[in-house]
Amino acid sequence: MRDDLIDEVTALVREVAQTVVLPRWRHLSDAEIQQKSPGDLVTVADQEAEEALTAGLTALLPGSQVVGEEAVAADPGVLGRVGDSGAVWIVDPVDGTNNFAAGKTPFAVMVALVRDGEPAASWILDVVADRMTVAEAGSGAFLDGIRVKTRTDDPGAAGLTGSLSRNYFPDDLRERIEGRVGALGTVTGGRHCAGYEYPAVVSDEQQFATFWRILPWDHVPGSLIVREAGGTVLHLDGSPYRPTDSDRGLLVAANEDIWRTAHGALFA
């Protein structure tokens, strides 16, 4: 990867967030909010931000492709490009759209660069906090330019704080999990924003996060950040997560020991 690409994408993400996304926050009309499916919103900010990011990213890396959340909503066939050879950008123009549309936080802009099916770099900007988390494969993870590492100890199940995004779990599995959460210290329902959950594991605000639906724009950026910071991202069956995966759920943890502890408490 050329030396200046990380900084150029960082600047682009910040620019789109400041000029397209943030001005719309708490200023959306009803006509500017639509439902793609029941409970799944899209706003004019999502659409305009994805257009701006697509133009900017392909200009920075000529010949690259973009897989954006809204492009896939318009044409599901676009999703298949994630595993293509060459450079593919994965874009979530507004992660946490339901929060954004309701005038709440958190929400984020997320981008990942995948080369030949493998994550190469990622960017997550918490828009309101103006907090940028960046990772490059093999080079570590950085929060506002400062290298970050996940915690290395395991405080045990009762000492863990984590999130469980319950909405998409199958009913039978959700019921089983609900009977087990008491073994863990604190389990929240999450903040409805993967762009918050992944950096929260890196910064030790929480030690794990659990998801069922794993669309690439939600999880490729954060998974690289967590792994580059020393954390663990595996499917619930213990297999590695890859950008083309779309099922089996994910358990994200600050380290392998915490992953095993949280997994044993919730899913054993």
Do 111 and 13 meet the contact criterion of CB atoms below 8 Å apart? Answer: yes
Length of the chain: 268
Residue 147, class by beta-carbon neighbours within 10 Å (0-12 exposed, 13-18 middle, 19+ buried)? exposed
Q: What's the Cα-to-Cα distance from 95 to each of 71, 99, 160, 164, 216, rounded to whole Å? A: 15, 9, 25, 17, 12
92 is in an annotated binding site: yes
CA–CA separation, 197 vs 165, rounded Å? 10
153 is in an annotated binding site: no
218 is in an annotated binding site: yes
95 is in an annotated binding site: yes
Which of helix, strand or coil describes residue 164?
strand
Indicate the annotated binding residues for Mg(2+): 69, 92, 95, 218
What are the binding residues? Answer: 69, 92, 95, 218
